Structure 1
């Protein structure tokens, strides 16, 4: 069973029976803690246009743009993958900081996790240097102990390597008391591969067929509901 929490801020929600509170919470970054869809859509638009291809719509980007660029671009652009990545990052580096927008309640969620004594880290498919630049810009280092991004580990999500790197040296082994919280199938697959508890945030109430193959153990619509769950 996967409870979908209802209501909004302040709703009294408790963990399902038999599920222990988390010792560690690993968050995805893009569109889990921060809204970066406008930036991602613009980067894909500029990349497709520069290569003479028809750009994806915003809806197509949100549906298809999952996984790290080093995993996704070779299948999208073939021998021009390197050129495409360069174009993508030219746009990205120009706009990503100025357009960075925390999702509602994200800062309160992180502060609450820390107040509970949880180890908090970020596991993202955003290139690690860019991820840490955004985290520093928001001043969230006071809550987040480690940020692991694409190219930091040998493999990116959905492989479990970034989770293992995020937990390395903490004395915390991946199990059901380690939550992997994210908004995409890659996050769920990563949690399963590492042996952590998969938590889905956002998305439609009805799980897609792809998500049902790696179903979340817990769901929440937004950061406020995650706070209520904890």
Structure 2
């Protein structure tokens, strides 16, 4: 994403921090692996089976990035437990056939590893489902730390998940970067004081993921090494968002 003119004053501090990052953290769904089709299929199946109605896709996806049960409480509080059960059953059955790795994910992680960056995952998924997604594509080997919804007491958009992952990697949140595709990811990163990077290739439209005001935005995970090399003006989010 290109910014016009020179970097704004607001972008100077994040740009300077890029040279002193202690760790790089990633969301999972919509950032490392493409599970949008599976998530939509699972939501459609659960809402049809439990609620007896079809909801618009934008309604089904609007709270992705939060823990599933919290999403269902917002959707239909009285049926949240049953929605969760039916969703998980469908999701588990179809997971491996419907999930894909985003192009460039493995090669980018290899490059970051080669450069000596310490890497972590921060997701609102449960630990077993998180591990399944990572292991399906052999990505777990890149990450020293994986923080799931089972590891925290407050969930994105709260800063706790990002802060805990940074702490486990031995770096301050202010010396970390978080890459994610949802507004909740960006809000969590910003609240934690991390460098926030919007993944525009994920499940959310650009205007949604940019709404919290992240520091940078990338069209592809392949752009991340260039950002780390200091090509800041090409990826700084302009005032217009």
In 2, distance between residues paired with 1:186 and 1:179? 15
**Equivalent of residue 20 in structure 1, options 10, 18, 21:** 18
- 1:4-40, CA deviations, whole angstroms, 9 ceiling, x for partnerless residues? 259xxxxxxxx98534333211100101111101100
8 A contact 2:200–2:206 mirrored in 1:
no
Worse overlay, 113-122 or 47-56? 47-56
Displacement of 1:63 after TM fit?
4.1
- 1:140-193, CA deviations, whole angstroms, 9 ceiling, x for partnerless residues? 122111211123211221112212332234321110x31110011101111122
- Which structure dedicates a bigger proportion of its chain to helix? 2
In 1, distance between residues paired with 2:128 and 2:205? 34
* Structure 1 position 217 matched with structure 2 position 199: no
In 2, distance between residues paired with 1:159 and 1:16? 20
Q: How does 1:60-99 map to 2 (within 5 A)?
A: 60-99=59-98
Cα distance change, pair 206–71 in 1 and its aligned pair in 2 (3 A) = closer
- 1:187-213, CA deviations, whole angstroms, 9 ceiling, x for partnerless residues? 1111122111111011689635x843x
In 2, distance between residues paired with 1:164 and 1:19? 17
- 1:43-73, CA deviations, whole angstroms, 9 ceiling, x for partnerless residues? 0011111113322344543445342112221
Q: Quote the residue 1:163 is aligned against.
A: 162
8 A contact 2:65–2:185 mirrored in 1:
no
Cα distance change, pair 146–5 in 1 and its aligned pair in 2 (3 A) = farther
TM-score by length of 1: 0.85
Worse overlay, 65-74 or 34-43? 65-74
TM-score by length of 2: 0.81
Q: How does 1:180-191 map to 2 (within 5 A)?
A: 180-191=178-189
Q: Quote the residue 1:146 is aligned against.
A: 145
In 2, distance between residues paired with 1:49 and 1:151? 28
Where 1:207 maps in the other structure, the secondary structure is helix
In 2, distance between residues paired with 1:66 and 1:23? 24
8 A contact 1:200–1:219 mirrored in 2:
yes
8 A contact 1:122–1:144 mirrored in 2:
yes
Displacement of 1:221 after TM fit?
0.6
In 2, distance between residues paired with 1:148 and 1:38? 24
Gaps of 5+ in 2: 4-12, 229-241
Name the Cα RMSD after superposition.
2.3
